[in-house]
Chains A and B, each alone.
Chain A
């Protein structure tokens, strides 16, 4: 156990814990704000799955590209989008990272190469292939496009089309499947004839494996291996991270399809609680360190709420903007 943490590095380990806590605190607050009707529309929480975003995104470089789903607040936050601009987006403010046009499901940020916030399940996988293809065709060696998606996407045709294209063209894409076992209320075993998802990816001649997504150290180790290979021209890779969402699918979901015992069992494996204990036990962090991480995350979140509250609404007169980009002078 300690060996793994040494391999990852103590400072990096503390950062992983801090980042998981940042997501947790931010999203717990989002749930409250939804209750207060400050946040509307759909709100999908990542609580329970934080180890995946923290493990993967902390290994990325600025030249890499990230695509995520509609459950992407945590990914955006760790990619470097400010908590204030994410919160403002959910408040529908002009100061939101997408100008208030996207909301919770559509966080986009050019500065950090964060390409959404995509809310058609499976729809962004082909985009990841195209981003990787652009890097390849433009002779940019080394950047990786990382594409997060849930296991529900595996049933979509676009998953299969995208993996086939990725393998055929040997593009530098890391496919990260966040298998939280339920596509809304439909469990994997009732929706897939083959529940071994890595096997599906491997059938496209893509190296693929399954990893414990509740253990941020394991997430880190697996991702490191994949990134080294992809950066050196090894082509696409696929990792399935086994995880669980502690909350319902969205704020509208009464969560009638999961047994209480099952939820409680997974909560025993809370990636934050278990990793905190490990770091304290290994002497990498003290209880006081962990407590201050929670305090810092609360400060960040409250600052974000204040910024979102203070942000202006976009004037309705601007409604027609950003539908088509202004045409440049034709050559």
Chain B
């Protein structure tokens, strides 16, 4: 694999966009394992709806960069069957919104086969899909339903939030004997960041502290991570500086509660961000789990900052108001810290 984007530094780091990092991960997998193929709607000539697979079919051919009809349940199920038959399919479902048409295959089949067969048939399948709002695409193209999938035993659910994770979580997902769902927030594709090309496959079950801080823990995933980072910068630069620790979940199932608890036990305060709705959302699971483990060290109830309980609207100002923004995070964190004695 030749990386043409970015510039190599002495440390082996290159600057890449999230999109290019994901594309190079797919290209590398296709080049190194003949069992790997990618299929989905418009992944070949069109280059993928989000241009992630652009150019791959010219290099690897139409069998291995395989266009499908608009049959989400059909081709996700075919991916499961191909995995059972010895392949390592990467199925691109254009967006989480359309994945609802494949819920039967993911929840009823991929997640259950190992168990129902008494351990005989595992499903080494990778399903990639975009998630999230923020591009004025209205209610049917702006869902954040990662939490639904994270609810289901038998699945692994990850959400790479950095170009480095976009590059290195895919090979781990392909090596995993279980179905792995990869959520890519559509707002991240143009974000650039350092990728260590020598790093190798990344863990699928650990959260990571993206920015250390002692005053409060901000827990985020996917598209909420860059917003949390910007909020933390603003909080640090304020007149009464607050040192916010930002933890990127990375894995939504399983949840890395050890890393979360270790942070909260130090900071005594936590704000959980979620681009999905609050009711029945993953944010509630995280808040409850941390409370169970850290109740006596908390200075205040855990704050949840989630999407407003409306279908995501089209109009820009309404869409912005519906999902947590940097200013909302700064405000929520600032109030939590102020109400509990201020920064240490």
Task: Tell me whether B77 and A101 are in contact (CB under 8 A).
Answer: no
Task: Tell me whether B85 and A134 are in contact (CB under 8 A).
Answer: yes
Task: Tell me whether B118 and A126 are in contact (CB under 8 A).
Answer: no
Alpha-carbon separation in the docked complex, A116 to B116 (Å): 9
- Does A133 have its Cβ within 8 Å of any Cβ on chain B? yes
Interchain pairs with CB closer than 8 A, number: 166
**Which residues of the other chain, B, contact A321 by a CB distance below 8 angstroms?**
119
**Which residues of the other chain, B, contact A126 by a CB distance below 8 angstroms?**
73-78, 80-81, 105
Contact with B along A320-331 (1 / 0, CB 8 A): 011111111011
Give chain B nearest CB distance to A89 CB in angstroms: 8
Question: What is the number of residues of chain A that contact chain B, defined by CB distance less than 8 Å?
Answer: 49
Q: A101-B118, A116-B116, A322-B114 in contact; A162/B77 too (CB < 8 A)?
A: yes
Option from A98, A99, A168 in Cβ contact (under 8 Å) with B69: A168
Give chain A nearest CB distance to B197 CB in angstroms: 16
Alpha-carbon separation in the docked complex, A157 to B204 (Å): 34
Task: Tell me whether A115 and B84 are in contact (CB under 8 A).
Answer: yes
**Which residues of the other chain, A, contact B131 by a CB distance below 8 angstroms?**
none
Task: Tell me whether A129 and B175 are in contact (CB under 8 A).
Answer: no
**Which partner residue on chain A sits nearest B125 by CB separation?**
A130
Task: Tell me whether A165 and B78 are in contact (CB under 8 A).
Answer: yes
Give chain A nearest CB distance to B116 CB in angstroms: 4
Give the residues from 59 to 88 in chain B that come closer than 8 angstroms, CB to CB, to chain A: 63-64, 68-69, 71, 73-87
Task: Tell me whether A158 and B73 are in contact (CB under 8 A).
Answer: yes
**Which residues of the other chain, B, contact A101 by a CB distance below 8 angstroms?**
115-118
Option from A99, A131, A328 in Cβ contact (under 8 Å) with B85: A131
Task: Tell me whether B108 and A120 are in contact (CB under 8 A).
Answer: yes
Contact with A along B104-134 (1 / 0, CB 8 A): 1100110001111111111000000000000
- Does A55 have its Cβ within 8 Å of any Cβ on chain B? no
**Which residues of the other chain, B, contact A106 by a CB distance below 8 angstroms?**
116-117
Give chain B nearest CB distance to A136 CB in angstroms: 9
Task: Tell me whether A165 and B71 are in contact (CB under 8 A).
Answer: yes
Task: Tell me whether A322 and B87 are in contact (CB under 8 A).
Answer: no
Q: A98-B116, A138-B85, A161-B71 in contact; A130/B77 too (CB < 8 A)?
A: yes
**Which residues of the other chain, B, contact A330 by a CB distance below 8 angstroms?**
171-172, 175, 200-201
Q: A130-B85, A131-B82, A133-B81 in contact; A99/B75 too (CB < 8 A)?
A: no
Alpha-carbon separation in the docked complex, A108 to B156 (Å): 23
Q: A99-B118, A123-B109, A158-B77 in contact; A323/B85 too (CB < 8 A)?
A: no
Give chain B nearest CB distance to A21 CB in angstroms: 28
Give chain B nearest CB distance to A234 CB in angstroms: 19
Alpha-carbon separation in the docked complex, A162 to B73 (Å): 9
Q: List 6 A-B contacts (CB under 8 A).
A: A96-B118, A126-B75, A131-B85, A323-B115, A325-B114, A327-B178
Which of A's residues lie within 8 Å of B, judged by CB? 65, 96-102, 106, 108-110, 115-118, 120, 123-135, 137-138, 157-158, 161-162, 164-165, 168, 321-328, 330-331
Given pairs A161-B77, A326-B177, 7 additional interface contacts (CB within 8 A): A97-B118, A131-B85, A134-B81, A134-B85, A134-B86, A157-B73, A158-B104
Which of B's residues lie within 8 Å of A, judged by CB? 35, 37, 63-64, 68-69, 71, 73-87, 89, 104-105, 108-109, 113-122, 153-154, 156, 171-172, 175-178, 200-201, 204
The 9 closest A-B pairs by CB, nearest first: A130-B81, A126-B77, A134-B85, A99-B118, A161-B74, A108-B117, A127-B81, A161-B71, A130-B78
